[in-house]
Amino acid sequence: MQLKGKVAIITGGSRGIGFQTAKIFSENGADVIISSKNLGQLKIAANQLKNTTPIAADIRNEKEVQNVIEETIKKFGKLDILINNAGIFPRIKQLHEISETEWNEVLDVNLSGQFRFTKFAIPYLQKTSGCIVNVSSDAGLKAYEGFNADAYSATKAALIVLTRCWALEYSKYKIRVNCICPGVVDTDMTKPFLKTEKDREFMDNDHPIGRIGTPEEVAKSILFLASSDSSWTTGAVLAVDGGQSIK
């Protein structure tokens, strides 16, 4: 039980990578709080898991984010782990096609939202010498034609740099901050790109290892970075992408 006695918050925890991370964390002994803006989905997810509490919050709303942290402390008295997983994937457009509203929405959710959760979690992570795992993307590691100008890539690249900044800034409190960069994973977010067998075959072949990933595979990497198995690891950026980023 690698996380026995630990308390973890997982944003975007009702589905996909977040849900599987909550599952593997709870199976490894953690008390888990899952958060997203849809309380109905959160309750459905929590009912499928053990030791899991749903707390709804819009990641764009500072007061709601703060409430998740405060309710966690009220219930468990501490916080050991924060998984910044929540995010949105907008329609792929070239830079000159993106409206300012679209641009700002992606930045607010994918970047400022991570800032908000981290900001309010830090004072409690200082007390437990806790850890943070940021979920970025291989889109933050390399450019993609017709995609690299998108706000999504910008936020994921920025999150990688913030991981290193936060790791350095808070190492004196023994807080570890690491980052994973998944490639294409079989989730609700990627379904629009996998509508046909031809789509799936193309996406599988685009990864050197020959297939796209599963949420479980990414969750296992997050578990490693959140556990004592990575106790001497901070500021790391781990590509979990079937080799996509090395092409």
Low-confidence stretches of the chain (pLDDT beneath 50): none
Give the model's pLDDT for residue 144.
Answer: 78
Cβ within 8 Å of residue 227, ≥6 positions away: 2, 3, 28
Catalytic hit among 124, 144, 152, 173: 152
pLDDT digits (tens, 9 = 90+) for 101-146: 999 999 999 999 999 999 999 999 999 999 999 999 999 999 877 5
Give the model's pLDDT for residue 247.
Answer: 87
- To the query of whether residue 173 is one of the catalytic residues in this protein, the response is no
pLDDT digits (tens, 9 = 90+) for 62-86: 999 999 999 999 999 999 999 999 9
The token pair that represents 83 in the structure block: 């998984």
Q: What is the CATH number of domain 7-246?
A: 3.40.50.720
Are 234 and 176 spatial neighbours (Cβ–Cβ below 8 Å)? yes
Residue 199 is given by DSSP the state H
